[in-house]
Structures are given as C-alpha cells and as structure tokens.
C-alpha cells in the first residue's frame, strides 16, 4: 500500500476510536474536535507525501503525539506497539524467573526513558535514584533511543553484579552517576508483620508495607488478624514510608480493616461520569479500636496517601512523619489500534472529607507544573472536628522529619559506598560490631581513599562556572580570589566526615548489620535507631498523649 493511501485509513481509524470510546462530547466539543482533527490529518498527510525530503511517517506521528502529551501531566503516556510488546515480555520474564534487579521501573515519556517507580526496598532506590530521573547511559551505553525492554535487559542481570547508571535530574546542572548493585527480586510487598520485640513496647505490632500489589490487602489482612487473635495487641504501627502506591483496591481494603463498614474510603471525580466513583468499606473491620499510628514520608504516594488520608479524616489514626508526595491523579490504560495503548489521567482522588491530595497543578495544559498556592488550599473538618487542608498531599498530625542528606552522604549513596564497605567489613570480621564507633568511621574513610572516592559539591560546580565566565569576560584579576574560595571549600569538605559523623555511623550501621542479622532481627534492631518509629511507639504507649493528638 502506498503511503498516500495510509492517510485516510489512519484518520478513519482514529475517528472510530474517538466515537467508540466511553463518552460522547457535547456538540461544541465535537465540532472543535472534528475541526482540529481535520486540520491535523490534512497537515500530516501533506508533510508525509509532499515534503521535499522523504519523511519517516511513524516517527513524525510519534513526535506529534509526544508534543501533545507534553502539554498535560507526566502520567499521561502513549505506548507504541513495540513498547506494549516489550511490557508484556518483561512481565512474563518477571513471573517465570528470579534474576538480579536494580529495582527501577522505566517508561519512555516524551521520548525519554524515565524512572517512574523505583521499588522502595530496591538497591536503586537506596542509592538515591528517584521518580522523574531520565536515564542517559547504562554501563557506558547510551540508552536514550532504546526500548524499555532493552533498557531493562541492560539494568538487570546476574545477582551480585553492578549496573553503572548515568542519569539527568531536574535541578542538577550535570548528569549524575550511580553504581547500583543487582540483587535478587523479592515479589512480596509486605516486608515485615509482627510484634515489636522490645520490653518497653510490649503488645505493639508493626506492619511494613512497601507497595500496594494485587495481594497486598490479603497479606495485611492476615497479619492484622493474626495479631488480634493473640489478644495481646495494644497498638499498631502501619509503616507506609517511601511506599509509592499501587493497586487502589488494596488501599481500600486495608483502610477498611480499621474503619466501620460502609464508610467512604476514597472517591474519584473526573470530567466524565464513567470516571467518577465512590469506594466504601465493604467489610466488617478487624481492628476497629486498636490504637494506630501510620508512618509516612515525602515519597509516600497515591495508594499510601489514600490510606493515610482516610484514617486521618476519621480520626482513626495518628499520621506521623513527613508530608507525603501529593499524587492524587487517576490513570487508566486505553487500548488503541494496532496494538498501541494510551495511559491517561481521567480523574482525581479525594479523601472522605473531600480533600484533594494532589500537590501539583497541571491544569494550564501548557506543560507547566505549578505547586498549589497556599491561598488556594481549602480547609476541611475531620470526623472529630480537626482542621485539615487539601492541595499538599497528606500533612502529618505529628511532624517528625527524616534527616536531610548532606552532599557527602548523597555522593556516597550514588557510589553505593555504604553497600560495598559493608561487604568489605563482613568479609574481614566474623562478628557484628557492638556499635559503629569512630574507629569504624576512620576505617571507612581509609577504604574510600583506597577506592579513589571523590565528589564535587554544588559550590564547586558553581565556582567552576563563575571562573569560566570571569575568564571569558577578561576579569582575570579576580581569579586569585576564586582560588582562595576553592581552598576554603576544600577545607570545609575535609571537615564533612566529622560534621556528619553521627549520620554516617547510622548509615554504616544500617548496611553492616544487614550482613549479620536475619531480616526479622535486622528490622527489630533498626527500631531502636529510628526516630520516627521511637516517637510512634511512645505515642501508642501513652494513651493520654495519643488522645491529645487526635482531639486537638
């Protein structure tokens, strides 16, 4: 078939896709849609058939689609036939075998391979890779034009090997490089469920949920039921920190374990009636009265925010930690012709009081993302009359922020330095250390020196740019002053280990103890060094303090 004959076929196919969808536009919308579609189709046909040089019709169409989607939110993504096939192959491979993985979910967005969902317990997440990072190279190979499956083939591989990843991050002037260990894939979403083994926290339960998978609600339900059956459960910590979300139904069922039957858990409101829905608790709660604390972080998103928001709105739990991510947009996947598909945003999530948890506004449809202004945030009342606000994720009832990462810590994480030093330590010590003392920290510094570890601070990067600008402008007399600044920065860097010693020791302990303790013992050990967990257990142990938070 000649290319000219493809144009009317394409237009007819897309027109059928529009009219056979889930909604009929109003007359004015239909006229506008048809008018602009005719213009687009005619222009596309003229370009493909009449342009002076031959044009790749598929590539041109993909450019047009990507340009349209760039004006919307980053979660609305088109998948061509190759990407759909790649995704199916990837899922099938994941189901059939164990392999070494860096734990990064990658999608091609706006023509760029983008990290969309790093697993919270994965090595990639622990090294500092985050959603929105754009992959540039894997093991030295440029991946910007590769398919999703090919990129995952490069990222994943034999366990206990390393993937060298270079990526671009918004706000960073230069590409970032990470050394990410490949570890065996763990399909479970519940990493721990049981009682806190501590004399001072008798009767306190703890559940760590890393993601909301298809079976997560069953895992959590069974865990809560088992603890309640012991008749010794006095309080429960539900840890949703760094949980990026997942299956909505799991979030609804998990919220319902603690709330009355028929309570509204979450609602979706969209432009069209088919996208709007109210989800209620269909089950009798298992633990309706057990004191509850929900731990959240700035990377708790989507389904995590649905659970935290529902429990907060009914004053059923204390939400503790950092303000959550603020991802309150609903996506569905629509099949398109020729084995392609479109993942598009169709609605927003709202908590039982009617709060939107979305913290970024994409409503201008010009590609811009604007944080919801404080003046536009609305106040709502919880069941007990407390004031809560929308437009900024879920704000905790008790703010206990995680320690901010220094530039030294960030650089060490990117190089997987804590991970590999822990391997070195375990290989040279038969038993775990009683404590991470100054001697171990000095040994860590010496090991870094042997590994030729270096890093560049933001101040050094900006100073280098300033030096270039001054030299280009002929202001060479100012360069000696910059040399003094360089010396001052170098001196400050040499003091970083002493300044951040406590934090570095904590991170070293986290990795080193993982080499000596089984997962359960390791987690129990971590409770004694986790400020947010310590505060949660204190609140659960003090009924008056617990009620004071929920009654304020």
DSSP assignment of 257-321, as one string? TSS-TT-EEEEEEESSGGG-EEEE--S--SSSSS-EEEEE-TT--THHHHHHHHHHHTT-SEEEE
Query: What phi-psi label fits residue 103: left (phi over 0), alpha (psi between -120 and 50 degrees) or beta?
Result: left
Rg (CA), the chain: 26
Contacts of 428 (CB under 8 A, 6+ apart): none
Contacts of 289 (CB under 8 A, 6+ apart): none
Reported in sequence order, the residue ranges of 351-460 that DSSP labels E, i.e. its strands, are: 360-361, 370-371, 379-381, 387-389, 398-399
User: What is the rounded CA–CA span in Å between residue 198 and residue 534?
Assistant: 11
Contact 281, 310 (CB under 8 A): no
Whole-prediction pTM value?
0.77
- Separate counts of helices (H) and strands (E) for the chain: 19, 23
- Of residues 300, 324, 342, the one with CA closest to residue 211: 300
Contact 351, 306 (CB under 8 A): yes
Contact 165, 181 (CB under 8 A): no
User: What is the rounded CA–CA span in Å between residue 43 and residue 320?
Assistant: 55
Handedness of CA 413, 419, 424, 429 (dihedral sign): positive
pLDDT in tens, 514-533: 888 877 788 888 888 899 99
User: What is the rounded CA–CA span in Å between residue 391 and residue 356?
Assistant: 6
Handedness of CA 321, 395, 371, 103 (dihedral sign): positive
**Pairing of the two strands 318-321 and 398-399:** parallel
**Pairing of the two strands 340-350 and 77-79:** antiparallel
For the packed helices 407-414 and 417-428, what is the interaxial angle rounded to 10 degrees? 70
Specify the pLDDT at position 300. 95
Cβ count near 194 (within 10 Å): 15
Contact 307, 246 (CB under 8 A): no
**Pairing of the two strands 398-399 and 106-109:** unpaired
Cβ count near 97 (within 10 Å): 8
Specify the pLDDT at position 17. 40
Q: Residue 425: exposed, middle, or buried by beta-carbon count in 10 A (0-12, 13-18, 19+)?
A: buried
**Pairing of the two strands 340-350 and 360-361:** unpaired
Helix (H) or strand (E) holding 520: helix 519-527
In tens digits, what is the pLDDT along the chain, a chain of 552 residues?
344 444 433 443 334 444 334 455 566 777 888 898 899 999 999 999 999 999 999 899 988 988 888 888 888 888 887 777 666 655 555 454 456 788 887 877 667 888 876 666 678 877 888 777 889 999 999 998 887 767 888 888 888 888 999 999 877 888 999 999 888 765 568 888 999 976 667 899 999 998 898 899 999 999 999 999 999 999 999 999 999 898 999 999 999 999 999 999 999 999 888 889 999 999 999 999 999 999 999 989 999 999 999 999 999 999 999 999 999 999 888 999 988 899 999 999 999 999 999 988 776 666 566 777 777 789 999 999 999 999 889 999 999 998 778 999 999 988 888 888 988 898 899 999 989 999 999 999 999 999 999 988 888 988 989 988 888 888 888 888 888 989 999 899 889 999 999 999 999 998 899 888 877 788 888 888 899 999 999 999 999 999 999 998
Q: Angle at CA 411, nearest 5°, toward 407 and 414?
A: 140
User: What is the rounded CA–CA span in Å between residue 299 and residue 191?
Assistant: 17
- Of residues 169, 66, 60, 58, the one with CA closest to residue 111: 66
φ/ψ of 269, rounded to 5, equals -130, 125
Specify the pLDDT at position 91. 56
Q: Residue 87: exposed, middle, or buried by beta-carbon count in 10 A (0-12, 13-18, 19+)?
A: middle
Length of the chain: 552
User: What is the rounded CA–CA span in Å between residue 110 and residue 470?
Assistant: 37
């Amino acid at each position: 078939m000649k290319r000219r004959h493809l144009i009317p076929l394409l237009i007819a196919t897309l027109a059928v896709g529009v009219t056979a969808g889930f909604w009929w536009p109003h007359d004015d919308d239909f006229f506008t849609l048809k008018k602009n579609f005719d213009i687009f189709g005619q222009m596309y046909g003229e370009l493909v058939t009449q342009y002076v040089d031959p044009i790749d019709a598929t590539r041109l169409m993909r450019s047009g689609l990507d340009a349209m989607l760039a004006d919307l939110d980053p979660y609305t993504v088109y998948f061509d036939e190759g990407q759909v096939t790649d995704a199916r192959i990837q899922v099938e491979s994941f189901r059939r075998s164990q392999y070494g993985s860096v734990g990064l979910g990658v999608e091609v967005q706006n023509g760029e391979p983008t990290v969309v969902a790093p697993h919270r317990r994965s090595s990639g997440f622990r090294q500092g890779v985050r959603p929105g990072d754009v992959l540039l190279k894997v093991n030295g190979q440029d991946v910007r034009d590769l398919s999703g499956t090919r990129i995952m083939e490069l990222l994943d591989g034999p366990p206990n090997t390393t993937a060298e990843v270079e990526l671009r991050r918004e706000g960073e002037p230069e590409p970032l490089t990470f050394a990410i260990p490949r570890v065996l894939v763990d399909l479970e979403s519940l990493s721990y469920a049981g009682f806190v083994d501590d004399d001072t926290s008798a009767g306190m339960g703890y559940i760590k949920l890393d993601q909301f998978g298809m079976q997560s609600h069953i895992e959590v339900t069974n865990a809560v039921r088992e603890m309640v059956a012991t008749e010794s459960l006095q309080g429960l910590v539900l840890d949703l920190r760094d949980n990026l979300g997942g299956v909505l139904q799991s979030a609804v069922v998990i919220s319902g374990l603690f709330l009355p039957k028929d309570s509204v858990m979450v609602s979706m409101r969209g432009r069209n009636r088919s996208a709007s829905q109210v989800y209620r608790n269909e089950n009798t709660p298992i633990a309706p009265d057990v004191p509850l604390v929900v731990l959240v972080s700035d990377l708790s998103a989507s389904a995590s925010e649905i659970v935290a928001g529902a429990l907060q709105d009914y004053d059923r739990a204390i939400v503790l930690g950092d303000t959550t991510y603020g991802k309150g947009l609903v996506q569905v996947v629509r099949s398109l012709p020729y084995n392609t598909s479109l993942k598009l945003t169709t609605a927003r999530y709202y908590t039982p009081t009617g709060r939107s948890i979305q913290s970024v506004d994409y409503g201008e449809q010009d590609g811009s993302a604007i944080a919801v202004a404080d003046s536009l945030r609305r106040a709502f009342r919880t069941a007990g009359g407390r004031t809560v606000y929308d437009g900024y994720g879920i704000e905790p009832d008790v703010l206990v922020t995680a320690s901010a990462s220094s530039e030294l810590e960030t650089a060490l994480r990117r190089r997987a330095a804590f991970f590999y030093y822990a391997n070195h330590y375990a290989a040279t010590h038969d038993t775990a250390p009683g404590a991470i003392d100054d001697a171990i920290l000095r040994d860590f510094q010496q090991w870094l020196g042997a590994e030729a570890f270096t890093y560049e601070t933001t101040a050094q990067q900006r100073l280098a740019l300033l030096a270039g600008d001054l030299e280009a402008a002929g202001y060479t007399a100012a360069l000696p002053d910059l040399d003094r600044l360089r010396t001052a920065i170098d001196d400050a860097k040499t003091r970083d280990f002493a300044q951040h010693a406590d934090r570095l020791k904590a991170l070293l302990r986290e990795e080193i103890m993982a080499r000596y303790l089984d997962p359960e013992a390791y987690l129990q050990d971590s409770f004694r060094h986790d400020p947010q967990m310590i505060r949660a257990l204190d609140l659960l142990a003090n009924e008056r303090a617990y009620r004071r938070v929920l009654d304020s």
